[in-house]
Structure 1
Amino acid sequence: MQREIVIVTAAYGNSVVRALGGQSELLPVIAAAKADGVEIRRELFSGEELNALPQLAEKIKQNGLFAVYSVPFALFNTGGKLNPDAEQYFDEAHTLGARTIKFSLGEFEPGADLTPLKVLLAAKPVKLVVENDQSSECGILSRINAFMFAAESLHLPLDMTFDMANWLWVGQDPATAAERLARHVGYVHVKAAEKRGGKWHAVALDDSDGSWIPLLKALPQDVPRGIEFPLEGEDLVAVTRYYVELLRKIY
């Protein structure tokens, strides 16, 4: 079976998305590049676009793609409470026809009651994936690992989105995180980064030091890989297709 490659619309840059007229205008590019799916970012919607999810769902289907819906919100709020708007976001994902919905973890606390999350997941057909983000308190290995252990203990139907470079933003070793979390990973955000002026910046894979290759090898090989590093150039189809083909190879 061919490995599934997902293109994150934000990889083209927010200004490009806006200039083209929204995320829907990238679908033909992504389809022409022979990708399998698109990650739609809620934060890139205008108010009008958010009210036109059924139309976007139809365009995604017409382009032969599946959807991942990324919301720019944490799953857990202060005190380890489930985000009260989580159900709304799941409903948006369902309207979009998304296969999965992605949240950052947020302020999960070990020992917190996960019953509300269990009830929500039982009621919704969209699969949940939880990502390590760039926040120094919530995107760290200890908190992510504690949540995945708790979720596994309760047999919750969810996986982790492993962002390969976000660990660098929180000062942690990606290889150590991969060793600890690989069995929970159901989606990989492929990303490389380099430090400039004391700050981390995402870079295209060919412009990196190559450390992403052994890291990718350490993660499950049969899960979708999302391209979230910058996709730039005169011919967006060509540059996208190049990386789609590269990431389909088995490392």
Structure 2
Amino acid sequence: MTNHFIVNTAAFQNKKTAVEQVKYVKVAQNLGFEAIEIRSELLNGSKQELQDIAQIAKTNKYKVYYSVGDVLFNKQQLNSKLSVYLEQMHELGATHLKMNLGEFNPTNDGWYQELKGILDGSFKLYIEDNQTPIESDLYQTKAFLEQGSSLGIKYCFDIANWSWLATDVYTAAEALADEIDKNTHKNTAEAKESVSETTNKKRWFLGVDDGVGYGEPATIISGVILIPIMVLIACILPGNKTLPIVDLISLPFMVESIVALTRGNILKVIANGIVWFSLGLYASSWLGSFYTGAVSHYSVALPAGIVLITSFNLMARPLNALVFAAFVSQNPLLIGLVVLIYLALLFALRRYRPQIWQYLSKMADKNRGYSGSDEKITY
């Protein structure tokens, strides 16, 4: 099989400067790529830019593909902006249009005839996964490709994006193998070869202790930096009664969730840690009497000068402290309230998992300098 290499203009993007895509048509050709893929989000919005790109490509007999950073289906209907994207594609002289699927309803077949009239044979339509679960659901994607198979729609498999979605990349590759265009794999030389390596093998999902994240650079660095900071804060925080000593070594463990949410942004980990664990100092001080009472109950003598003992590791996390306080109070109303809140949150998680995942992904993207879902990470 002959491989065809196409370069996306995002490859030329510099974070400090915008990409003038027209400048890179000839560059891509000189580098040996068979076509250049123009990105809609990197266009300046003028028709002149589209015409300039088309003219240079035509002069140099070079192929142009058009990648639109939008969905084909919006709220289960064909995107109303599709006609705009088609006009831009024709202005570019492109022969391929690529979009994300979006919210597709497999039970609604009204789209078929409408899309059939649009696909006039002058271009090929490709669907690509993105990093939003609700827009790249495997079941919906497979159903769409099967229903639209007679229309010649193909799939561009971005292996990296599947790491953001709820489906394992190998499961996705196996399910979509028949619809994948071998010339449009991204971040993989041959997706089907990846599938064959795992076919008919049992898969094991192993739960591991959070200690495996202890040595991750952002985790260990931010955790170690927080050690002297939290000791200082403990000494000057008004009303605080807790001086963390033994549990200080646990700070890298304690920041792991913050590291995940901030995508390893060390400054944000430290800033969040200062606020969160300062509240935790108050929480552990408040619950110190319970710990001390439990120790005294078993006739354990406290060292001289020690009035209260507590667990900074467990109680310096305010939410943990609130749940702990509800149960040690032995108040049925408080315990019942905690259980009800837990069940409500569990229901919300199961019911709105894709939306929650999408929100967390968008918020995490912002921590890497992206402004939201319109500026997703690209590979």
Query: Do they superpose with TM above 0.5?
Result: yes
> Are residues 55 and 214 of structure 1, via their aligned partners in 2, closer, same or farther at CA, if it must alter by over 3 Å?
closer
Report the alpha carbon displacement of residue 84 of structure 1 after superposing the two structures with TM.
1.5
**1:7 matched residue in structure 2:** 7
Q: Which runs of 5+ in 2 are unaligned?
A: 196-377
**1:145 matched residue in structure 2:** 142
Distance in 1 between the 2:21 and 2:171 partners? 35
> Are residues 99 and 214 of structure 1, via their aligned partners in 2, closer, same or farther at CA, if it must alter by over 3 Å?
closer
Distance in 2 between the 1:132 and 1:110 partners? 17
Distance in 2 between the 1:58 and 1:183 partners? 36
**Structure 1 counterpart SS, 2:133:** coil
**Structure 1 counterpart SS, 2:184:** strand
Task: Answer yes or no: is the 8 Å Cα contact 1:90–1:126 preserved in 2.
Answer: no
Out of 193, 200, 203, the residue aligned to residue 217 of structure 1 is: 193
**1:28 matched residue in structure 2:** 26
Alpha-carbon RMSD across the aligned residues, in angstroms, is 2.3
Normalising by the residue count of structure 2, what TM-score does the alignment of the two structures yield? 0.47
Structure 1 letter corresponding to 2:166: G
Out of 170, 175, 183, the residue aligned to residue 180 of structure 1 is: 175
> Are residues 8 and 214 of structure 1, via their aligned partners in 2, closer, same or farther at CA, if it must alter by over 3 Å?
closer
Task: Answer yes or no: is the 8 Å Cα contact 2:43–2:49 preserved in 1.
Answer: no
Q: Which runs of 5+ in 1 are unaligned?
A: 192-211, 220-227, 230-251
* 1:171 equivalent in alignment to 2:166: yes
Task: Answer yes or no: is the 8 Å Cα contact 2:177–2:192 preserved in 1.
Answer: no
- Bigger relative CO (Cα 8 Å, ≥ 6 apart): 1
**Structure 1 counterpart SS, 2:119:** helix
**1:157 matched residue in structure 2:** 152
Task: Answer yes or no: is the 8 Å Cα contact 1:37–1:65 preserved in 2.
Answer: yes
Report the alpha carbon displacement of residue 146 of structure 1 after superposing the two structures with TM.
1.2
Q: Which of structures 1 and 2 has the bigger CA Rg?
A: 2
Task: Answer yes or no: is the 8 Å Cα contact 1:140–1:167 preserved in 2.
Answer: no
Distance in 1 between the 2:125 and 2:168 partners? 25
**Structure 2 counterpart SS, 1:109:** coil
Task: Answer yes or no: is the 8 Å Cα contact 2:126–2:155 preserved in 1.
Answer: yes
**Structure 1 counterpart SS, 2:157:** strand
> Are residues 214 and 86 of structure 1, via their aligned partners in 2, closer, same or farther at CA, if it must alter by over 3 Å?
closer
Report the alpha carbon displacement of residue 96 of structure 1 after superposing the two structures with TM.
0.9
Distance in 1 between the 2:24 and 2:114 partners? 36
Residues 32-78 of structure 1 deviation map (CA, whole Å, 9 limit, x = unaligned): 21110000001101133x43312211112334421110111110110
Structure 2 letter corresponding to 1:217: E
**1:223 matched residue in structure 2:** none
Of Structure 1 and Structure 2, the greater strand share is in 1
**Structure 2 counterpart SS, 1:59:** helix
